[in-house]
Amino acid sequence: MTSAPDTWHATTILTVRKAGKVVIAGDGQVSLGQTIIKGNARKVRSLAGGNVISGFAGATADAFTLFERLESKLEQYPAQLTRACVEMAKDWRTDRYLRRLEAMMIVADPSTTLVLTGTGDVLEPEDSLMAIGSGGNYALAAARALIDTEMDAEAIARKSMKIAAEICVYTNENLVVEQMDSTA
């Protein structure tokens, strides 16, 4: 019997939109099989001169390629996050090189939150919350439980990520949190 090769497991990314703020939080752990390779990776970034925030789950080098592509689409379609993301998703799905990239992204600007996938999906959450990655479901469930409390968006994101880190072995508590004012 042969065992499956070690695979990279990396991340939990959560976005919370509440009371005039949008927050994206991501943990810092990158794992290969049962080994933690890095504990302080930065998977959440500000793009487009601070007008967009984004987080990725998946292969790190692939995500950096996608950040660069998204940045160029945002330059091509300034202040049009949805259009830039749709155009990038088209490229991602049809380009022979990009098609092989294994990552997902959450992106947000003051009015819109989207999830981008390599299958060409550009998804808008039904509510003010969205999560991706190995601990995404745990963080999302925690955030849903907390969204109707007095906590602000950042506090919800931090508490939800802490809960995810307590459950998911591929998620740690070394967070990077980016936020901006929201119109939605």
In this prediction, residue 5 carries a pLDDT of 47
pLDDT at 32: 81
Active-site annotation holder among 11, 15, 113, 171: 11
- Global confidence as pTM: 0.90
- What's phi and psi for 136, nearest 5 deg? -60, -45
pLDDT number for residue 97: 60
User: 8-176 in CATH: which number?
Assistant: 3.60.20.10
Q: What is the pLDDT of residues 71-81, one digit of tens each?
A: 999 999 999 99
Active site includes 11?
Answer: yes
Cβ neighbours for 162, distance < 8 A, ≥ 6 positions apart:
173
Of all residues in the chain, what percent carry a pLDDT higher than 70?
Answer: 90
Q: How far apart are CA 56 and CA 157, in angstroms?
A: 16
Please report, for the chain, the start and end positions of each structural domain, with discontinuous segments joined by +. 8-176
Sheet holding 113-116, edge to edge: 44-47, 52-58, 103-108, 113-116, 122-123
Q: Please say whether the dihedral angle defined by the alpha carbons of residues 86, 71, 31 and 176, taken in this order, is positive or negative.
A: negative
